[in-house]
Structure 1
Amino acid sequence: MTTILVTGGTGTLGRHVTELLRADGHEVRVLSRHAQPYAVDLREGGPGLDAAVAGVDTIVHCASTPRGGDERAAEHLIGAARKAGVGHLVYISIVGVDRVPFGYYRSKLAVERLVEESGLGWTVLRATQFHDLLFQVLEALSKVPVMLLPAGVSDQPVEVAEVAARLAELAAGAPAGRVDDMAGPEVRTFESLARAYLGAAGKRRALVNVPLWGAAYRAFRAGGHLAPQLAVGKGTFEEYLARRARR
């Protein structure tokens, strides 16, 4: 079996990937800002990063933040991977990063290009938004009596464990370049997802669809972040909500 480094290995996606790879018999190192022995801030790089990648066969790059710094982090990671002779870099991106002019999406697209031009063997998987993120958004919107929703916007959430399984499969294989996107089983209006959330949470809120403005909103409204032809995910948002309620 191989030695695999998972960046962001304590996060929503990374911890699932780590568990699956270890269950499959791989030696897995977890890199995050606070996880010893590989506590590294990728935006800063340094000797700790070199130690983390030494002797690694494959890197699964899950670490990411909408607060900025992803490109600098990727540059540091790629530089260390080159020096260590890493054979395969797997990167998780987002469906629509090349179609939606949203700041975080632009950053993810820039990292894709860094990976592609790295000189390393590489694989890039794009996925739609996770159920977990959608839940957090709806929970925040429901803190007031009237939930304001982006008018005309749909979503296609996917189960994070399913994306993790695909990433683990790709990490165990040879570099594959840009693979098929992975999307959830249903394209749903934001209003229908909000109603599902409210029902599961036992909340009553008025829903108001609000038209927004700007190029990013127009692209979201046009479905640039969706992949209905690649609806390979199985778990629905209602199933996610039921499972969360049981916990």
Structure 2
Amino acid sequence: MSTVLVAGGTGTAGSAAVAELQARGHRVRVLSRRAPSTTVAGLEHSPGDLLTGEGLSAALDGVDVLVSAVNGQTRKTRAVFTDGARNLTRAAEAAGVRRAVLLSIVGVDQVRFSYYAAIAEQERIYTASGLDTTIVRATQFHSLLRSIFATTARVGVLPAIRGARFQPIAPADVGRALADAALADSAGDRVEVGGPAVATMRELAETWKESTGSRSLVLGVPLPGPPGRFLRAGMNLTPDNRCGTVTFDQWLAENRS
């Protein structure tokens, strides 16, 4: 039985990894600034702050594998990918941890905007550390697309970026991939995981519309600049790595709330 510390273990991907690791009978510890909102039998919580380094040494004591699924979606929190990664990898090395698994995004190094640039820097920090690191790059989550459509539906429109395709994946499938990497016999360089199907954004919008009964208009919209070129070129896809098992429509049916 391994002891695995999951940084960001209360988030979407992190909580999925926690559930998968526990289901496989391993000891799991969650590192987060706040305790999980629900109590899970056998789950340990270690409070810690990646930016200040407070609590990291205690959280990493006795840990075999570090899994990082942290997220910093806002400009205010984005430093968790950079300063936070430096603090966490240094603390892990000092605690004698040898293995790490890092969650990242497919194509993260193929386009320049601030969120992706910070995550790409996080990859470089882990790769340059003394930890044997496996980077798990995933495609966009089903929940991200649902959030986009649910938000814009409030004004009666569902955006369909022209030429954009997605290969969305269920968080549970990402959690399984993170657990597989954490428990593998040896560390790998990088793996990619994507959902079971590639679809245009228009097709995904129509799927969401049918699932929810929305009357919003699906509207084709341009996306200029590097992000648009990135999506039109399919750099966000990994069609040879269809590791997900749950399609977008299936996930929507199971997650109607």
Deviations 1:4-33 (A, max 9, x none): 100111111111211221222211110111
- Which position in structure 1 is the counterpart of 2:200? 189
Structure 2: how far apart are the matches of 1:188 and 1:64?
26
Letter matched to residue 190 of structure 2: V
- Higher mean displacement: 31-40 or 124-133: 31-40
- Which position in structure 1 is the counterpart of 2:56? 49
Structure 1: how far apart are the matches of 2:174 and 2:229?
27
Deviations 1:111-136 (A, max 9, x none): 11111110111111111011111111
Q: Say whether 1:33 aligns with 2:33.
A: yes
* 1:110-149 paired onto structure 2 within 5 Å: 110-149=121-160
* 1:5-154 paired onto structure 2 within 5 Å: 5-35=5-35, 37-46=45-54, 48-67=55-74, 68-69=78-79, 70-154=81-165
Runs of 4 or more off by more than 6 Å in structure 1? none
- Higher mean displacement: 127-136 or 213-222: 213-222
- How far did residue 82 of structure 1 move? 1.0
Structure 2: how far apart are the matches of 1:8 and 1:27?
16
**Superposed CA RMSD:** 1.5
Residue in structure 1 matching 2:236, options 207, 222, 225: 225
- How far did residue 41 of structure 1 move? 2.3
- How far did residue 108 of structure 1 move? 1.2
Q: Say whether 1:206 aligns with 2:217.
A: yes
**Contact 1:123–1:175, Cα closer than 8 Å, also in 2:** no
Letter matched to residue 243 of structure 2: V
How many correspondences in the alignment? 245
Structure 1: how far apart are the matches of 2:163 and 2:23?
42
Q: TM-score by structure 2 length?
A: 0.90
- How far did residue 56 of structure 1 move? 0.8
Structure 2: how far apart are the matches of 1:66 and 1:17?
20
Deviations 1:89-122 (A, max 9, x none): 1101110112122321121111111111101111
- Which position in structure 2 is the counterpart of 1:166? 177
- How far did residue 86 of structure 1 move? 0.2
Structure 2: how far apart are the matches of 1:41 and 1:151?
41
Q: Secondary structure at the match of 2:255?
A: helix
**Contact 1:98–1:106, Cα closer than 8 Å, also in 2:** yes
